[in-house]
Amino acid sequence: MKCDILILSGLWNSGPDHWQTHWEGKYSKWERVAHRDWNNPERDEWVAELDAAIAACQGMPILVAHSLGCMLVAQWAQSGSALKVAGAFLVAPSDTEAPSYPIDANGFKPIPMAPLPFPSLVVASSDDPYVTLDRAHAFAAAWGSRVVEIGAAGHINADTGYGEWPQGEALLDEFCRHLTP
């Protein structure tokens, strides 16, 4: 597999109207990381699946994560993998420690609060039901990520009107332009 971007969907995967699905369909070198079980995530299994997807890339991919996919990035970063990524674009990171998180997140807590060893950007909404804006900022501060707040955007998914999401694509493009080749 040759890829520039690896897409990391969250719990239950991203449906056909989700921005991740639109972007994956638009760019032939973008690949979604597949998981055996999208409904009952297990940290170690998801970390291994991400590590295998990174290993299959030619060069260092950029991770484009949503929701639980953002927590997967943080878990993978502390896993000790020798593999490298160019950066991570982290949209609506779910707070797996919050009572509002819809499932018991099998190993996705505690949330790693250590700097990521690559550039990262957190995109946050002021009314996300799965993470408060304060927690999104706390994650970003711990991870060494820049933060972009996009206002009241819910969970930044198809259910809240973020289908093709051209503004998000522009944010990703700007983020990518600042990465070291």
Q: Which residue range(s) make up the domain with 26?
A: 5-177
Both tokens of residue 122?
Answer: 């957190």
Q: Which of 128, 131, 96 is nearest to 110 (CA)?
A: 96
The predicted model scores a pTM of 0.96
Q: What is the CATH number of the domain that holds 96?
A: 3.40.50.1820
Residues ≥6 apart with Cβ < 8 Å to 46? 35, 72, 75
Number of structural domains in the chain: 1
pLDDT at 3: 60
Structure confidence by residue, pLDDT tens digits, 137-179: 999 999 999 999 999 999 999 999 999 999 999 999 999 998 8
User: What mean pLDDT value characterizes the chain?
Assistant: 94
Above pLDDT 70, what percent of the chain?
97
Mean pLDDT score, 99-122: 91
pLDDT of res. 1? 36
Structure confidence by residue, pLDDT tens digits, 54-80: 999 989 999 999 999 999 999 999 999
Tokens of 73: 């990035």
